[in-house]
Amino acid sequence: MTMNSDQAFVANDKLMLQARGIEKTFTLHQQGGARIAALSGVSLDVERGECVVLAGASGAGKSTLLRCMYGNYLATRGTIAIRDDSRASRHVMLTEAAPHEIIRLRNTTMGYVSQFLRAIPRVTSLDLVAEPLVSRGVNEDEARERASALLERLNVPRRLWTLAPATFSGGEQQRVNIARGLIAAHPLLLLDEPTASLDGENRDVVADLIVEARERGAAIVGIFHDEDTRERVATRIVRLESAAATVEPAVQTDSGVLQTC
């Protein structure tokens, strides 16, 4: 007998995320309604202290799964539940949650590091990194102090701290992005290739930070192409099979033109 989410989160206080039967199909309305199957039935439990690395070919749906887990994409089918100890059921069903509820979960529970930084014009890198702490109620001086320590550790030159990161190099932006994603010590971290544009030394720093997060009990789901980093951080590897094999090969468009995708 399988446990439903209610029982699972109450029975196991290490469980942070439970995904069941996740399917995601994109419909490209601008391109004749072509449909792309990105995920076809992924189920996964992630507990505190685990770092689950998503593996699989390019296009297998790794980033799509992370975005579904962060509530950026709504799964076409299936459920994702996230721990929320403020509820009797000890979880929120993300796939049914209202936008304000998803925002609250991002504030309290889920940290996400995308491959690229979405720089906000005129906000300094120091403030960008401090912001997740400030929005959790930490006072600004302390938040800036902790942001400085993290930027220092990630070898972001001090002269860049008071500048907006829009003009930074790819690796500098990525380190600001990682600092912003890790500073609030969220209990669930979703990391999409956080080391992709870093040199070896900085990759090692990031791997250390991820291992520290795992050891303090964070549940982590990440994508790492670099074999060394993967070996250092992973407690488990989950391979996604490409659902793209099920791409519908041709669709009849409204104009009657047969289009291949």
| Residue 17, strand partner residues | 46, 82
Strand, helix or coil for residue 63? helix
Nearer to Mg ion, 157 or 170 (CB): 170
Contact 35, 25 (CB under 8 A): yes
Closest CB 99 distance from ligand ATP, rounded Å: 18
Selection from Mg ion, ligand ATP, none that 218 binds (CB < 5 to 8 A by kind) is none
The three state secondary structure string of 192-246 is ECCCCCCCHHHHHHHHHHHHHHHHCCCEEEEECCCHHHHHHHCCEEEECCCHHHH
Interface with ligand ATP in residues 53-82 (CB under 6 A): 56, 58-64
Q: Which is nearer to Mg ion, 61 or 165 (CB)?
A: 61
Is 147 a binding residue for ligand ATP by CB under 6 A? The answer is no
> Which entry of ligand ATP, Mg ion, none binds 244, CB below 5 to 8 A by partner kind?
ligand ATP
Least separation in angstroms between CB 188 and ligand ATP: 19
Q: How far, in Å, CA of 58 to CA of 79, rounded?
A: 24
CB of 62 to ligand ATP, least distance (A): 4
26 binds ligand ATP (CB under 6 A): yes
What 3-state DSSP class applies to 182?
helix
Distance CA 61, CA 71 (A): 15
Site residues for ligand ATP per CB under 6 A: 26, 28, 36, 38, 56, 58-64, 244
Site residues for Mg ion per CB under 5 A: 63
